[in-house]
Structure 1
Amino acid sequence: MQMKKALFRSFSKTINFFYLILSILFIVFTASVFYIAATNQLTETTIDTMQNIVTQKNEFISYVYRDIFEQFYTFIQQNSVTKLANGQALTPGDYIQLTEEMDELYGSNSYLVDSIYINLHDFQLVYNEERGIRNNIDIELDDFSSYEHNEGYFWVGNHTSPLLDSERDVQAIGHLVSDFYGNEVGVVLIYLNTFFIENVLDDFSLEEGYMLLMSGQSYYTTEDSNVYDGLNQQIHAQYLEGVGTQEVQEISTESLGSYYVQQSPVNFNDWALALVTPKPTIFNSESTLSWVIIIFSLFIALLAFLLLRMIKRYISNPIEELSEKMLGTETFDEKIEKPETVPDELAVLYESFNKLIERNTELFTEVTLSQEERMELEVALLHSQISPHFLYNTLSAIKGLSDMEMNEEASQMTTQLSDFFRTSLSRGREIIQLEEELQNVESYLTIMETRYGDFFDYTINIPKKWYPYYIVKLSLQPLIENAIYHGVMNDRKKGLISLTCKEEDGDIVFSVWDNGKGIKEEKLSKIREELSAPYLTDSETETGVGLRSVHIRIKNRYGEKYGLVIDSEYGEYTQILLRIPKIKGE
């Protein structure tokens, strides 16, 4: 029972998702560490083995080539060969000496020498495995002049022997012979069979590997499969370009994958020896390490599964129960019941959800009341613009002007009344250009000036550059109306109303100022408080329909930064500032 309580109180550390992620990461990390360590060790072992094999093979092959070259050099210096080179006729004794020297060279190196070929001043001899001599061999001397040679000596890599009827790969050591005048008069060749070299290259302990012996003309490989032709050609091309080094290189192929290549130049003849083996990997059928990693990973996965079952019992199930209860609520004010036994963290969630329900209920009530008030303000504002009292008084004034035969003034007042109602309706548009709003203000002021001309004067100082900018309809006229009825009409002196605007912090700020009676501090504070309230339920307000409607519509349209700011000094003035953003165009 104590263990159950402890598990419930470790909610934040044992939540299912994070535990599963951590388990997977642990398995992957541990397996990766084992894999990387094992791979690195296997790679190092493979590289060391390759380097040792190549070094040993190189030393042995270099020794074999050096030994046969020294014997070949000695053979070239023999008196019989020298006479042939100088164009002298051989005596029977010279001829016998030549055959004995050829027989000695061939017999002491029969494991390696395939044939001996002499072609000097059109005198041709071939000494082969039958220990016989043949003449009239069809070999062109120009074929050997193209080989790179050192003091006339050159090496020829694997090629088909021209001296045999059957095809057989051979290598060759040659010497271009010159007379006293430096003219090439022939060539002496020793053809080496590849059986011995093949056995040397094929005898090493590295599985799935093979060796290449590369010369400038060709390469010889112990792996006869055509599958490796592309890889071998790529290695040989690197050798020809001088890219190959004595360090192990990795070569990747699309069909065969990655291979390690260890090259080493054969010291004696500038050929190169290369050992090729697949890149080692521990994940193969014969790798013990791969099975160790797999078994270890399965053990960790099983342990993680058992622990996950425990976490599900003590943590996941309570969370699911909470989720089902939340989803099961049918009304916005429905709370959920907290179980008696629950982790501390889940208890907080239960309590937070219920508090959220309470807050939602409060917000729903506030939003409902706010929307109702906004609708009432919109209707009341429109109603105030088409007030029967205003319309009746204006029409009475027009009739009075007509009775006094002031037809021009009556016509002008009628036009202003028409313009006033047309702009107020604006075809249902809420956003109009400032020019249209000012026409509405002008129409209204003209009508009021005609009716109460003795009570106030007005000035409008708004540059025409602001006319294309947009404003919420009926934003300025209610402010002018407020200045007339609650400002200058309540004062004995003749009033003055001014409408101006300026740019401030990238916004347009309008000012409606009057020199009326002003507002007492207590009443001004209440007006400001009502303007900032989200909604009003009391019909007896200080702001009235006009001001609050303008303020709410501006804030709803542009945000909390915008709207009305009222300032007043009792007995001196009242100023209302209206801030809107600069918006030009659609």
Structure 2
Amino acid sequence: MVTTTVRFFIKNLLTFLLPMLIPLVVLSALSAFLTQQYVVNGIKSNNMNMLKQTKENIELLFNEQNALNLHIIASTTQFMNLKDMLNKPLPSAEDYQQLAVLKNFIDSPSIASSYIDSIYIYLNNDNQRYISSVTGGFIELGEDPDHLWFDSYQKHAHHEEIWTESRKIPRYNLNDEIEEADVITMYRHFKVSDDNTGVIVLNIKREYIERRLNDLATAKGQLLAVVDQQGSVIFHNNAKYELSSEEMQQVISSKNSAVTMQTSNKEALIHMIYSETYDWTFISVTPKQSLYTALTRLLRIGAVLMVMALLAALLLAFQLTKKNYSELQIIMSILNAAEKGKPLPLHRSKGNNVYSQIIRSLLQNFIEHNYMRVQLSESQYKTQAAQFAALQSQLNPHFLYNTLETIHWKAAGYTDGPNELTSIVEHLSDILRYSLDGQNGLVPLNVEIANTKSYIAIQKTRYGERFDIWWEYEEELEKYQVLKLIFQPLIENSLQHGLSRSDQKLAVKIKIQRYGNLLRLAVIDNGDGISEERMVELRTRLFSDTADANHIGLINTQRRIQLAYGHRSELCIKSRPGRGTLIDIKLPIS
């Protein structure tokens, strides 16, 4: 039973688990594959769009320098005069008026644009003077703490038109203390004439640009940076992910817009856009780990769902196995009862599924068939036992029959003809012959009546006029079959108990009637009757297996009727003390 239960549990578990797990695994794998493809393609597209947008925005910030350069080219005369003013020991009042016009030219964008820290314009002059958006007039190198820009200019003056540096500008605050401003400085050469050259210095606030970069929607740990050709980072967002100088140089040297590279930190997906205007490279570095955050979350959800599906399948399999085990116990109890010949145990199945209905139907048919076979075997056994007992009882009557024939001839020989004794012997011989013939079952009613009359004739010779018997029936009923020797035990019972009273003549009436498919045989007498207590005892013994010496004829008749007709027959006894007794038998007829 334990092995069967385990098999049921495994079968039920697979029945519930496979339909849940297979679609879930396929869906999870497909979702993971599609998500991976979508993430990679989506990140590539988003990063390239982000880099293009960043490139356009940053280039727009530095376009102020182009406007300054165009204005210088368009105002050649003014800037030629500016060089003269820069070379003079002391500018005149007229020079200061013209200087004010030029100052407005560089102060206007500095004031209007919050991202511009300062603008310098320098023309080569002997006094190393320049004009600045942070001062009111000319300023000489050394008067302002910021003078490193001039060194960079001299270093790049002969071979580069535009270059960029990341610098910290020293400045005096209101307390005459030096503070540093973090800026990105862009240098641009300009030429007023062949021998008049200079530089425009545009200082952009780093904080402003990096704040703009940080405002962009990036993946977790994604680095956005702008790098020059030397691999130096000009500015970047606040991402913790960093590349070394060698790694940055390797990225710049790559000609592909998207590469995957194993860095010192982690494997990363890198996208690039090159700016020809400023010779910059805009770079996006996305750690692969952050690319698959959604995929990892999806896999975790899938794992949780699988665990939940497993638990649900275990619970359902346990409940179904418990139910199947209960049904098996019921089946075993029914089989054991059928095997031992006991009545089928009552049970109620709570299930109403097809599987349970099939089991109940097959089981009910099998058990009922088996039970009926047992009952039939028992009935056949009882019939055979009764027949065997009848055969045994026939041995002595057969011998007696032959002896009676001898007595008949001897008695007739003594009187030279029939006499009362020969009449008794003839009736007794008829009764014995009727009992010993081969028909042990049903006989026509007229044959049974004739045999019963022979028995009554013998009893008349014995008791004389102490009783009267008369018949009441229609002749058309004589064709129906009845059980052999069915009247004799009933009449004998009436005579035995009715003739014990000597003060009244016994009257016995035998009434035969038909009611539909039933034939009613009634034996009615006016004897002493039966008391109520004795009646209860008689009815109890009549339908039990115990024998009763006082009513053996009635008990035998009841059992023979049950064996021949089953539940379709009925034997009923009614009696009133001092009034008489009625024995009523109903037999089915066809």
Q: TM-score range by the shorter chain?
A: 0.3 to 0.5
TM-score by length of 1: 0.41
TM-score by length of 2: 0.41
Which structure has greater helix proportion? 2
